[in-house]
Structure 1
Amino acid sequence: MTLVTTKELTQSAQRGQYAVGAFNVTNIAMARGVVAAAEANCSPVILQIGEKQLTNYVPLDLMGTVMLTLARQAKVPIAVHLDHGFSYEVIIQALKLGFSSVMIDASQTDFATNIAQTKAVVQVAHALGVSVEAELGPMNREGGGTTVDYRQLAQTYTDPQAAERFVAATGTDLLAIAYGTVHGIYSQTPHLSFDRLQQIAQLVSVPLVVHGGSGLADQDYRRSIANGICKINYYSNLAYTVANTVKQKLQQTTTQVFISDVDNWTQQLVQAEVSAKLQIFGSAGQA
């Protein structure tokens, strides 16, 4: 199947009122598990890796090559995406490797700087036929000693009018917004502002993205999709659940275990978890 862009996938999702799952992968077993789930469910997916994950886990040229190879060999349409690209240099590296989509995350800067940095990436990426995702409204993060005050999240919600101006000024293909989700494993039950999401969707025509998509209730996914979300990022719960299930299997196994066994378990567990999410997101059968 031909490697596709996130713009193609999410515009189809927008028309069909479902969401495309975007799954961060940091090793071959995870990537193969995502692709196997996509093929088994006849679903489009997005394989992605974030810039910070490149520093912590695996180099871009190595993992990117694996992701691109799997996408080109897959029986379903797959986009390969750089998630949370903070530096222009890493984004350019992803473009040179052949990624079909990149994210420029300048959401921690002021509005004018975010526009300028996003426009610069859009200009280069569009010249290569590559999609661009940007973010407006900084996302909070749980974990690593950081606890989010959920009562204060409304202060960081994306402003609908600002979103409209941002998309018009930058030409971004997708927009990641803040309406109550956080990155990482939730320490409390999230309360999403569907009113804010709906307001943004009414003013912005490009597909909308939710980050911090792990750990939401099934009804939150479905309601988010009904109100305009077309791409759902899903990593933290996937990585945590799979790792701890593998840990339990290691503790319970009485026979010899090799690293290749762990790889196989990882792939199978990722496939099962991703398959369940593709059904909830409504993308199963859409490839």
Structure 2
Amino acid sequence: MKIIVIGSANMDMVMKTVRMPEAGETLNGTGFFLSAGGKGANQAVACAKMGAPTWLLGKVGDDVFGQSISENLARYGVQTGCLETEPGVNTGVAAITVCAGNNRIILEGGANKTVTPAYIDRHQDEILSASAVMLQLEIPLAAVYRAIELAKGKVPVFLNPAPAVPLDESMLVGIDYFSPNELEVGMYTGIQVRGVEDAMMALNLLKAKGIRFPLITLGDKGVVYYNGTENIYKEGLRVIAVDSTAAGDTFSGTLAAMIVSGKTMDEAVDIAQRAAAISVTRPGAQDSIPVLSEVLG
């Protein structure tokens, strides 16, 4: 069993505040910390914390942030032998403002923007030997498309379309797991999701596009998904949110790890929801992701 995650690795610069500043306004923060992040790296850490052997494919810069990210991934058990250092380029960074458990993020991709189809081709053997391939959209679309072309029909593909950008619809045909949130799904269905009924309509449109198991996460309201037989709605778990930064990545990584381990779709979604709920009660990105024993206990 092996999960290959292809995606971004960033350093998150997190500032807490009692409210979001207006344009031109300066506020005093209530706390600051650095935290390794990036959707690819976060999802890889989630997979590893759930007990799945996990490799991250991507790039960091030749700076102190890149070195720190690589060390942090290794500490969590993520294999980094395929993670390359791009000379003369900064590591991706994210400026995150956290207020009342919600966040606003400005991202500068840095080395993530140098992940190319040629890089994907260099790691074709690793991709084709995997039990699952996970992708997001913080690396160039050309690299995402190349990875899908290599894996589709041979290795289960998990695509978390975040941040949402228009996608070639032919690429969606045959995708195994596609997991936008309630805002992102409008990009791919034209439906503005205001509640569960809207989400179910959007879910059916995703199925009609050829996606095998679409899911739509609804934040604290829960998730809707197709389990291969029927559409299901599961309510969100009630927790006191501290920082939602890695909640979606925790859900995505946990879902993939559980599917690969042999859980049914319903079981995997249930465990992924619990993991995501725990993550929002803690600050940071990768540090906030629970281990499997915490989720099952």
Q: Is TM > 0.5 for Structure 1 vs Structure 2?
A: no
Where on the TM-score scale, by shorter chain, does this alignment land: which range?
Answer: 0.3 to 0.5
Q: TM-score, normalised by structure 2?
A: 0.36
Instruction: Return the structure number with greater strand share.
Output: 2
Instruction: Return the structure number with greater helix share.
Output: 1
Higher relative CO (CA 8 A, sep ≥ 6), structure 1 or 2? Answer: 1
